[in-house]
């Protein structure tokens, strides 16, 4: 059984979203129809966190966090959905009884955490005591890792097949171990232990719970490094290796260094360098940025100096800049890892190198495009400037943009005003306005992708739902637009629609419905867009007929007078529409 819908709705209606958010964000201020504050989920100076009392939802246009009042409490207090509902219900004086379904979910997660914690202890004990781990101990010693660091990170070793035997004796099943991500079933029907014959790096969440493992082979097996798969308690795009171990230092000095590998994190910690973390075998993501923003005010990227490392650095910078996080780039000599440099040169030299090689985000991008800039060919230089301006546009801070454009103009030796004109031109074309909208200046991340005609149509009826009566049932061909429209027709509110969508579609919808576009005349805007939507449909229909008629003229299919007549009719109609 689940919580009855009517109880959930009672709790939602009793929990005014503005009042709830203001308890956590006292600086929440009215901004037109909505309320605005700096986002609690990422670091920003210009407020981009919006709350709509009318729609009963929130949305951050910086980091993309969005949802209803339950989701806000979940994210703010790191609660599960049911815990969030319970908390708000208690405050509203509404009784909720926990159901069997929810107990099962909590119980399953608890079991997985127990398996993962037990596995980590098993691997750690074998590294410290087992004769089978002699090669692993020699490897770690060779890499310069001492016993204190081994214990701090609970490093381990996985003897082949022994974990499965140990876990089965404790009463766990092979299905339990598979759900925890420590084993997998092979095509032959046998079970394979992911960490087998590897040095093991337990991965912790910010609460200090073991959620997964990474392993480094000691044999010639590939890949050299391997992570256990994602599970219901582990998402690699939402966790950072080493973050839990550095939390005490981050409370004193809110600075993070993002590196590439396990050893790159472990050795800096051993040398007393705080804030060292790494992504877990995946590209840097917005979820990583959000996680960092909770604990740090600035980030230094220290990736490999090869082409792959520079590409990874650029991608991470784009995300950090979009999320309003202060960031810089440092570099080590090519072919040298952080742990190698520290073991050879020591902490002081390492920190000197990080500081000396530090570049701002825009300086890194300018250097990355320096070859194109130095060619001094106008067209090549223009392309480089265009790429740099696209990067500058990722920042929602106008002061940062102004300083970066100054740096760009100096680097390419082009008048600053000319660069500004190009930047403003880009911004103008990205708006794609119909001329009847007045967009409020909000750093909307999704605005970098221009809206389709159907999305613009949907945005107008989200602004004024009374206009739905002017639309036919089949007006939307785009699947997610049609789904949202169907929910609107059935009477669902914005919060209900948000909860009915998957994560990606919910992110898209929240950006669309919370965009603060105002319309001089919403009905006129709708009629203009609707006309373009219908014209686009006619064009697609004519294109299909055009292909068939071409086959007719080539004698590949029989002539069809009706289709030819329809094609001519569509051509006349489209000429009349100016298309």
**Which CATH number fits the domain that encloses residue 450?**
1.10.860.10
Q: Mean of the pLDDT values across residues 477-506?
A: 86
- The predicted-structure confidence for 147-167, as pLDDT tens digits, reads as follows 999 999 999 999 998 999 999
**CA–CA separation, 570 and 545 (whole Å):** 10
Whether 533 is covered by a domain: the verdict is: yes
Q: Do 568 and 467 share a domain, yes or no?
A: yes
**CA–CA separation, 568 and 215 (whole Å):** 66
DSSP 234: B
3-class state of residue 328 by DSSP: strand
Question: Which residue range forms the structural domain that includes residue 152?
Answer: 103-234
CB 546 within 8 A of CB 538: no
**326 beta partners:** 298
**CA–CA separation, 273 and 267 (whole Å):** 9
Q: Which of 345-354, 481-490, 518-527 has the lowest mean pLDDT?
A: 518-527
DSSP 131: G
User: Where residue 204 falls among pLDDT bands split at 50, 70, 90?
Assistant: very high
- Of 234, 253, 287, which one is at a domain's C-terminal end? 234
Instruction: Compare 564 and 215 and report the one with higher pLDDT.
Output: 215
- The predicted-structure confidence for 367-379, as pLDDT tens digits, reads as follows 988 877 877 788 8
Domain CATH for 22: 3.90.580.10
Q: Note the pLDDT of residue 324.
A: 87
User: Where residue 101 falls among pLDDT bands split at 50, 70, 90?
Assistant: low
Q: Do 112 and 227 share a domain, yes or no?
A: yes
Instruction: Compare 374 and 86 and report the one with higher pLDDT.
Output: 86
Q: Do 561 and 452 share a domain, yes or no?
A: yes
Whether 493 is covered by a domain: the verdict is: yes
Q: Note the pLDDT of residue 106.
A: 52
Q: Do 288 and 162 share a domain, yes or no?
A: no
Residue whose C-alpha is closest to residue 505's, from 442, 455, 430: 455
Q: Note the pLDDT of residue 447.
A: 40
Q: Note the pLDDT of residue 354.
A: 93
Q: Note the pLDDT of residue 449.
A: 53
The pLDDT > 70 percentage for the chain reads 93
Instruction: State yes or no: pLDDT of 555 exceeds 80.
Output: no
Q: Do 448 and 578 share a domain, yes or no?
A: yes
Q: Mean of the pLDDT values across residues 458-472?
A: 86
Instruction: Compare 308 and 328 and report the one with higher pLDDT.
Output: 328
Q: Note the pLDDT of residue 563.
A: 83
Q: Mean of the pLDDT values across residues 40-48?
A: 87
Q: Note the pLDDT of residue 442.
A: 32
User: Where residue 439 falls among pLDDT bands split at 50, 70, 90?
Assistant: very low
Q: Do 82 and 119 share a domain, yes or no?
A: no
Helix H, strand E, coil C: the string for 341-362 is HHHHHCHHHHHHHHHHCCEEHH
Q: Note the pLDDT of residue 223.
A: 86
Instruction: State yes or no: pLDDT of 87 exceeds 70.
Output: yes
Q: Do 499 and 414 share a domain, yes or no?
A: no
The answer, as to whether pTM is greater than 0.85, is: no
Q: Do 324 and 397 share a domain, yes or no?
A: no
CB 564 within 8 A of CB 551: no
Using omega within 30 degrees of 0 as the cis cutoff, is the peptide bond preceding 223 cis?
yes
**Strands, E, within 4-87: which ranges?**
29-31, 34-37, 49-52, 57-60, 66-67
Whether 83 is covered by a domain: the verdict is: yes
**CA–CA separation, 532 and 458 (whole Å):** 13
Instruction: State yes or no: pLDDT of 69 exceeds 80.
Output: yes
Q: Note the pLDDT of residue 161.
A: 86
Whether 97 is covered by a domain: the verdict is: no
CA atoms within 13 A on the CB side of 258: 28
**CA–CA separation, 563 and 549 (whole Å):** 8
Run of H or E residues at 198 = strand 198-204
Whether 98 is covered by a domain: the verdict is: no
Q: Do 271 and 176 share a domain, yes or no?
A: no
Q: Which of 237-251, 272-286, 442-456, 551-565 has the lowest mean pLDDT?
A: 442-456
Instruction: Compare 432 and 529 and report the one with higher pLDDT.
Output: 529
Whether 221 is covered by a domain: the verdict is: yes
**CA–CA separation, 275 and 15 (whole Å):** 38
Q: Note the pLDDT of residue 430.
A: 54
Q: Do 444 and 558 share a domain, yes or no?
A: yes
Q: Note the pLDDT of residue 576.
A: 58
Q: Note the pLDDT of residue 99.
A: 56
Domain CATH for 334: 3.40.1360.10
Whether 323 is covered by a domain: the verdict is: yes
Q: Note the pLDDT of residue 187.
A: 79
Q: Do 577 and 464 share a domain, yes or no?
A: yes
> What is the four-CA torsion angle of 293, 294, 299, 304, rounded to 10 degrees?
-90
**500 beta partners:** none
Q: How far is CA 117 from the centre of its chain?
A: 28
Classify each residue of 48-68 as buried b or exposed e, where b means 16 or more C-beta atoms within 10 Å of its C-beta. bbbbbeebbbbbbbbbbbbbb
Whether 169 is covered by a domain: the verdict is: yes
Instruction: State yes or no: pLDDT of 520 exceeds 70.
Output: yes
The pLDDT > 90 percentage for the chain reads 39
Q: Note the pLDDT of residue 255.
A: 92
On the 0-12 / 13-18 / 19+ scale of CB atoms within 10 A, 222 is exposed
Q: Do 399 and 451 share a domain, yes or no?
A: no
Instruction: State yes or no: pLDDT of 332 exceeds 60.
Output: yes
- Of 183, 199, 234, which one is at a domain's C-terminal end? 234
Instruction: Compare 101 and 393 and report the one with higher pLDDT.
Output: 393
Residue 62 CB contacts under 8 Å (≥ 6 apart), including other chains:
39, 42, 44, 48, 49, 322, 323, 324, 396, 443, 445
**CA–CA separation, 149 and 10 (whole Å):** 51
Instruction: State yes or no: pLDDT of 448 exceeds 70.
Output: no
Instruction: State yes or no: pLDDT of 433 exceeds 70.
Output: no
Q: Note the pLDDT of residue 1.
A: 45
Domain CATH for 140: 3.90.980.10
Q: Mean of the pLDDT values across residues 251-279?
A: 91
- The predicted-structure confidence for 399-431, as pLDDT tens digits, reads as follows 999 999 999 999 988 889 988 988 888 775 554
Please give the mean pLDDT across all residues of the chain: 86
**29 beta partners:** 36
Q: Note the pLDDT of residue 391.
A: 93
Q: Note the pLDDT of residue 549.
A: 83
* Domains contained in the chain, number: 5
- Of 406, 431, 456, which one is at a domain's C-terminal end? 431
Angle between helices 338-345 and 347-356 (to 10 degrees): 130
């Amino acid at each position: 059984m689940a919580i009855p819908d009517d109880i959930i709705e009672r709790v939602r209606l009793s929990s005014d979203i503005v009042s709830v958010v203001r308890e956590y964000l006292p600086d929440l201020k009215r901004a037109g129809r909505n309320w605005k504050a700096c986002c609690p989920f990422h670091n920003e100076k210009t407020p981009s966190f919006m709350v709509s009392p009318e729609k009963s939802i929130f949305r951050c246009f910086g980091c993309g966090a969005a949802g209803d009042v339950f989701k806000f409490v979940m994210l703010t207090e790191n609660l599960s959905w049911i815990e969030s509902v319970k908390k708000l219900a208690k405050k509203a004086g509404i009784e909720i009884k926990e159901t069997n379904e929810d107990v099962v979910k909590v119980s399953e997660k608890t079991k997985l955490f127990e398996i993962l914690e037990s596995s980590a202890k098993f691997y750690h004990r074998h590294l410290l005591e087992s004769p089978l781990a002699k090669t692993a101990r020699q490897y770690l010693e060779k890499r310069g890792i001492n016993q204190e660091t081994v214990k701090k990170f609970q490093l381990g070793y996985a003897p082949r097949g022994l974990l499965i035997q140990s876990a089965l004796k404790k009463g766990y099943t092979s299905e339990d171990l598979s759900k925890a991500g420590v084993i997998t079933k092979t095509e032959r029907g046998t079970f394979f232990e992911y960490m087998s014959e590897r040095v093991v790096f337990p991965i912790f969440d910010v609460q200090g719970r073991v959620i997964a493992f990474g392993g480094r082979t000691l044999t010639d097996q590939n890949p050299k490094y391997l992570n256990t798969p994602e599970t219901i308690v582990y998402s690699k795009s939402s966790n950072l290796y080493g973050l839990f171990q550095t939390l005490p230092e981050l409370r004193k000095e809110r600075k993070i260094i993002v590196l590439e590998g396990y050893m790159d994190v472990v050795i800096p910690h051993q040398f007393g360098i705080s804030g060292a973390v790494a992504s877990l075998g995946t590209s840097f993501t917005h979820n990583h940025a959000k996680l960092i923003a909770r604990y740090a005010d600035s980030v230094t990227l220290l990736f490999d100096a090869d082409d792959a490392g520079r590409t990874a650095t650029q991608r991470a910078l784009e995300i950090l800049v979009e999320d309003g996080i202060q960031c810089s780039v440092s570099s080590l000599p090519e072919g040298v890892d952080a742990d190698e440099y520290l073991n050879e040169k020591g902490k002081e030299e390492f920190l000197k190198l990080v500081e000396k090689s530090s570049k701002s985000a825009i300086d890194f991008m300018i250097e990355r495009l320096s070859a194109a800039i130095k060619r001094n060919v106008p067209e090549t230089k223009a392309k480089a400037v265009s790429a740099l301006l696209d990067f500058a546009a990722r920042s929602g801070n106008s002061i940062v943009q102004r300083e970066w454009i100054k740096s760009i103009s100096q680097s390419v030796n082009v008048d600053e005003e000319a660069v500004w004109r190009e930047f403003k031109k880009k911004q103008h074309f990205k708006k794609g306005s119909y001329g009847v909208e007045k967009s409020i200046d909000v750093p909307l991340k999704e605005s970098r992708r221009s809206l389709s005609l159907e999305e613009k149509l949907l945005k107008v009826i989200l602004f004024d739902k009374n206009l739905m009566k002017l639309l036919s049932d089949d007006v939307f061909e785009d699947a997610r637009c049609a789904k949202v429209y169907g929910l609107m027709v059935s009477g669902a509110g914005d919060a209900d629609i948000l909860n009915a969508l998957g994560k990606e579609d919910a992110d898209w919808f929240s950006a669309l419905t919370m965009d603060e576009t105002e319309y001089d005349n919403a009905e006129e805007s709708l009629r203009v867009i609707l006309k373009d939507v219908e014209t686009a449909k006619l064009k697609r229909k004519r294109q299909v007929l055009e292909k068939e008629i071409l086959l007719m003229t080539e004698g590949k299919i029989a002539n069809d007078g009706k289709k030819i007549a329809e094609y001519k009719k569509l051509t006349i109609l489209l000429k009349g529409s100016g298309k």
